[in-house]
Structure 1
Amino acid sequence: MPTPRHPWITTPITEDLLRGALELERTAHGVLPHRLPARARAQCADGQLAMAESQPSGVRLAFRTRATTVELDARPTKRVYAGAPPRPDGVYDLLVDGRLTGQASASGGNTLTIDLATGTAEHRPGPSDTLRFGELPDGVKDIEIWLPYNETTELLALRTDAPVEPTPDHGRKVWLHHGSSISHGSDAASPTAVWPARAASLGGVELINLGLGGSALLDPFTARTLRDTPADLISVKIGINLVNTDLMRLRAFVPAVHGFLDTIREGHPSTPLLVVSPILCPIHEDTPGPSAPDLSALGEGRLRFRAAGDPAERASGKLTLAVVRDELARLVERRAAEDAHLHYLDGRALYGEADFAELPLPDELHPDAAAHRRIGERFAGLVLTGDGPFAERGVLSR
């Protein structure tokens, strides 16, 4: 290991050095960022939710320093799907004064092997790794290290060759977003390329990303988390997980959305609030869930999904994306008559038929890296800037 220009300084990783996390759990060796607080986690024993909320999408270390070398010790937990090709290691993005200047990945770590055919999972412990970012520009600078969106990440130590202090508040509006695995990251190229992160960068806002893979299910504890989290702008992307888990019927869906929005409004009575319906997903446009792994593709080493429902089941109240969009549009229109700060966006404006023809969903459910960039840019243009609902009446200026 090269000798630093000054003796290493180890700085405790505390809440004031982290952004985008709602809670920091102390572990035997370090800290583990969470995107749902303990009181919410205690109300649901679902393994998918536990994995999703502990994967730090949108979470980043943020500090000001003169250091030219930064080291971070971390222990990831990596997902492995039995029978599928290995997933690439998660990426850590290093930003210096807002510009992406370095990337790294942690090797080793724990593994969580998931068998989609049986629904079982096996956890195996593994070693930590050290990520090193060197040859940084001299002088005072703001550094952000965005953590991988797809790996649970235990942070063990932060070392630098100069003192660090928390990055000062730049006065940007805080955008709190909730959605499914697409908002969580799915197959984005890196943590700053996840579509909400891309949109936040273009729109000049501070992101808290509560995109929870497989877990955007109108859970009351998630609504209470949104209610209790300080924010200037709030968006909720509703639909795809309700369809692909086949969780509820139309009779339950409409009141559940009302209840979800009512709870958010208890803590944010006049905050701009945007309801976003699902992006295009052809397998579930008119066919209900659940989604199921395509075992024939899995046998060929490819991960693909199919819609396992029957279109005729719509008559009994099963949800499809088309049904969800129609109901959300009507519901928001009714509520907006008494709530001037409530808005609606059809998700197909972010990714629709023409986009699918050009950038198809590789596994039939999730956008790829190029589609993430497009969705983020579209959202910034339609919502965060210009005449968008989050840009109106000076919302984005403090």
Structure 2
Amino acid sequence: MGFIKDYFYLKKNRRRSQEAINQLQWKAIQKMLEYAKANSPYYQNQYQNIDIVTLEDFQKLPTINKQIMMEHFTDLNTCGLNKEDVMNYAVQKELNKDYLGYYQDKYVVGLSSGTSGNKGLYITPKSMTKRLPGVFLARGGIELKELPLRILFCLRVFSQGFDDINAPLLKLKYISTMTPVLDVIQKMNQDNINLWMAPPSFIRQVLPFKDQIRIKLKKIITYAEVLSAADKAQFEAAFNTKVVEIYQASEGQMASPCKLGHLHINEDMVYIELYDQNNRLITTPNVVGHKMIVTNLINFAQPLIRYEMNDMIVLDSPCPCGSHFRKIKQIIGRSDDNLWFYDQNHEPRIVYSDLFSRWIITESDQIREFQVTQKAISKLEITLDLIGDFDPKQLERRLLKELNELGLSVEIHFSINPLSLPTHFNKYKRFVSLIKNP
């Protein structure tokens, strides 16, 4: 029951004063820097001639991004893990749709496509994932009075990290978002689910069949996509329950809801710097963050120090809940457009863009970037930006196989052309849909 200790520690942190939060963060940053310099060859080289005495010194350190992290993965991690070995493990897990288990019986390996560049590897020690029940209880948008919980977790893929949430009074079951909606509802009813976790786009697919849900949900938690105010209101009315959002990324759990349902940055788990369009540090609400730099304060296996992300967020005024953790007013531009295909009955079905991304990125490292444009249902135009020789027919066979297994038809036209990322900090759009949801 060690996770109870974690729960109360994380709950206590949210009640800290602003001064105490600042001290906690600076102490955590110093600890991470010291560990990284002692155990990561990459950071040893980066910081060897730099004095880091104040927070201002820290904010002047060079940033890294996904491309830099992957280029230096072997030297950046502190566990002596080889990039090629870890990548082969992750890709095979993906191809075999086998998402459980630990690499070397020590690490959970995450494979991310992100919104730019190629595949990203993220490792989390088993010692951290085994503490997830406490983190989930404290920062998962739930309260102790809601226990016991029987959770149905819906996402395109699963992972050992999610499975490690299971604990006394917390029972989590997984089902793929590619499962037919009626089968999902049947599982909810059979297992007497009382907490549903799913991306907003998948919840929208269930809405027309909500009357077939016979169980009473205590709460719905969304993630992986932005939860709009309109969706939240619609979901709460349709399912007669409270709906909250978690802001989670491969780089860390960025923000969690308070007791009032408002998103707060997890200041004790990540240190987030936001900069405006003129590259000035944002310290006040209602300013669009054009650059977001994240330092993960708790994962010492793969130190992500001043890691630049493409996410754009806007801070809000202090929250009535009383917490001094910064409140997020809006997350801008996290979701890609989804794709639509006809099934065997000529009915349109959705395929989520993050799943489609995985099919592409696991096919070949020669694909530097891609863009999928959909002008009609079951018709795609895919542009590939290659870094070496690659036959698009190989990718076509993979996509046809995956879609055919789902009973879906598709026509694909490929082109080979360079693709450029935006010069501003908006997210690059890998998926451009010119059709409205059927």
Normalising by the residue count of structure 2, what TM-score does the alignment of the two structures yield? 0.28
Q: Larger relative CO (CA 8 A, sep 6+): 1 or 2?
A: 1
Q: Give the TM-score, by structure 1 length.
A: 0.30
